[in-house]
Amino acid sequence: MIIEQLVTSWIASAAFGLIFNVPKKLLSHCGIVGMIGWIIYVLLVKGRVDSVFATFAAAFFVAVLSQLLARVYKTPMTIFSVSGIIPLVPGGLAYEAMRHVVMNDYNMAIQFAAKAFMISGAIAIGIVFAEVANQIVKIRIS
Amino acid sequence: MERTNEVADVCLLAGKIMLQSGAETYRVEDTMMRIAASFGMPHSHSYVTPTGIIFSIDGLGPTKLIRIAERSTDLQKVALVNGISRKISEGALELEEAYEMLKKLEKEHLAYPISVQVAAAAVASGCFVIMFQGRWIDFWPAFISGGIGFYGLHYMHRLVKIKFFAEFFASFLAGVVAVLLVAVGLGRSLDNIIIGSVMPLVPGMLITNAVRDLMAGHLVAGLSKGAEAFLTAFAIGTGIAVILAMY
């Protein structure tokens, strides 16, 4: 079960790296960043943590990991972070919201949309916190 | 005076390539000012938005402006320009050399062939079905509809230059294929197949860049990228909604 998730998330993230034309030798790194982010999310949700916080934690780790790798390989951080962030995007919730809009069930639609909005916000906050952590570390080193 | 102009040209070319390839706005500004500083012009100003660059070297020469009409995602080019700018900062590149290298890079076509990209999108779609707790029986249907949807995006974008219509069309196409595959009996869960196959269309690049630009204080760029991401998401949703309304 977990192995299935590990393998598919690695492949999906590396495939996204390919779509965004990440340099060939860094594709597997993209996969690993995406895999770690996704596994954090899956394990937290399985441990009955709210999906908003799980998304936040996963996005935070994806961004921190990307910053570390960016420093090691001296390349822009975006190369590693994009493919890690994409699996966290609440595609399923947005889909459910759309489905209920089409069925004229606006009450449910708004609930799903609100949740999707919260999760998108959690991704943003995760990236922001990673940025803050990065700057604090930078100040301490110099 | 002559030299100021040349330095400005190198900076603008580097900035243009980066912005066209999907770099964050703050990185573009940072790179241009670093290059100018390493060629002995420490006081330069740049103002970058997703659709244009204004660059000026203090008190010397005219202010220059470049309009960016077409943007795509090509992270390899961003990395390569980054590498060139690093070399310039270390003093390893002369002005003319740097200009030549950037000129060459601008013309180069580094993206993977479209067939490889479609295959990657197809594989990613299939994998997303499994990641979202779907069953393996839905892997191949999502593989097919995701691949066709992504190809539709590419094809439509070449035909009409309206990005949002291309995205709408792509998700619509993916939805049609998914409905057909389920009707034929190849797939079980229509929901999972559709969700998986539209994931390659998700504006992940725009979301991360919008947040990071807002953080760096680039309010105009951050907000406009956020709006672009929102419009893309809306286009995808509309495509799916049309399918679901008809089905």
Q: How confident is the model over B155-173, as a mean pLDDT?
A: 90
Backbone angles phi, psi at B57, to 5 degrees: -105, 125
A96 contacts on B by Cβ (under 8 Å)? 191
Average pLDDT, chain A: 90
Question: Which residues of chain B are within 8 Å of residue A123 when distances are taken between CB atoms?
Answer: 207, 211
Statement: residue B237 has pLDDT above 80: yes
Q: Indicate the range of A39-48, B11-20, B62-71, B175-184 predicted with least confidence.
A: B62-71
How much of chain B, in percent, has pLDDT values that exceed 70? Answer: 99
Mean pLDDT of A90-118: 90
Q: Which conformational region is residue B242 in: left (phi greater than 0), alpha (psi within -120 to 50 degrees), or beta?
A: alpha
At A24-38, the pLDDT tens digits run 889 999 999 999 999
pLDDT grade, residue B145 (50/70/90)?
A: very high
Secondary structure, 3-state, B178-225: HHHHHHHCCCCCHHHHHHHHHHHHCCHHHHHHHHHHHHCCCHHHHHHH
Interface touch B208/A22, C-beta < 8 Å: no
A2 touching B, CB under 8 A?
no
Chain A residues within an 8 Å CB radius of B31: none
Range of the domain at A127: 2-141
Residue B61 has pLDDT above 80, yes or no: no
Examine the pLDDT at A109 and tell me if it is beyond 80.
yes
How many domains, chain A? 1
CA distance linking residue B85 with residue B98, whole number of Å: 9
Q: What are B89-122's pLDDT values in tens digits?
A: 888 888 888 888 888 888 888 888 899 999 999 9
Q: Is A33 exposed, middle or buried (0-12, 13-18, 19+ CB in 10 A)?
A: buried
Average pLDDT, chain B: 89
State whether the Cα torsion B1-B35-B218-B167 is positive or negative: positive
Return the domain boundaries, chain B. 2-107, 114-246
**Residue B246 has which token pair?**
């008809």
Query: Could you give the ipTM of this predicted complex?
Result: 0.89
Confidence category of residue B151, pLDDT binned at 50, 70, 90: very high
